[in-house]
Amino acid sequence: MPLYKSIKVNSQTTVKIWKIEESYNELFQPLDLKKSSLERVLGMKSKLHQRGFLSVRHLLREFGYTDQDLFYDDNGKPYLKDGKHISITHSFTFSGVIISDKEVGIDIEKQREKIGIIAHKFINYEFEYLIKDSDYYIRRLTIIWGIKESLYKLFATSGMLFKEHFLVIPFMVEDEQTVAWIDYEDKKYRFNAAFLEFEGFTCAYIVPHE
């Protein structure tokens, strides 16, 4: 399937999402991968991970880039050669890319009940406004995780902990946006966050200011 969704966040920022329905060969054949990317995809043991990796390269093409334009730093954070900021995600049958003139982060997660079991590992303050027996509980937990994962990707700083350093301000699922904070080493950083749901998945991303 071609592009699943494209979101023009603002004049500087675009999100594109791919639904991975193609086979490995269908995804692989049209691409021109650099040596390091070829070695990486061939070394993956999971076909699902391979297809996720390749679908991201198709999303790059939707933006007008190729695999040669993408590189990673020592922390695994992706960059584009032209200086634009990029963040990448894939989960099961969906992948996503956000590109902007400013620092960004994106995450896609499948909505699963087991997130409730590990909630205590990444949530502290947010328990104050979450209602455990609510129909929205798992969906809201998934949104919070996605926002915190997006913040972590944006900062790419070792030592940051979801539970201790990231805060997500109260929101409703219908809001599709909220505010998030990073409180780290005596500094506070404020971010706008947006999210959407589709086919049992949640996509969250950090929205840079205009």
Question: Could you read off the pLDDT of 170-190 as tens digits, one per residue?
Answer: 999 999 999 999 999 989 999
- Report CA 20 to chain centroid distance, whole Å: 16
Residue range of the domain that includes 46: 3-104
CA 67, CA 179: separation in Å to the nearest integer? 33
pTM: 0.95
**148 and 163 both lie in a single domain:** yes
Position 132 confidence tier, pLDDT thresholds 50, 70, 90: confident
**44 and 121 both lie in a single domain:** no
Q: What is the Cβ-side half-sphere exposure of residue 12, based on CA atoms within 13 angstroms?
A: 14
* SS3 of residue 93 by DSSP: coil
Arithmetic mean of pLDDT over the chain: 94
CA 56, CA 16: separation in Å to the nearest integer? 10
Please give the structure tokens belonging to residue 150.
């997006």
Domain end (from 48, 71, 104): 104
Please give the structure tokens belonging to residue 137.
């509980």
**Token pair 């969704």: residue:** 5
**97 and 29 both lie in a single domain:** yes
**80 and 111 both lie in a single domain:** no
What do you get for the CA distance between the two ends of the chain, in Å?
32
- Report CA 13 to chain centroid distance, whole Å: 14
H/E element holding 154?
Answer: helix 137-155
**136 and 196 both lie in a single domain:** yes
- Of the candidates 73, 70, 103, which has an alpha carbon nearest to the alpha carbon of residue 85? 103
At 143-163, the pLDDT tens digits run 999 999 999 999 888 889 999
**51 and 89 both lie in a single domain:** yes
CA-derived radius of gyration, the chain: 17
Q: What is the CATH number of the domain that holds 115?
A: 3.90.470.20
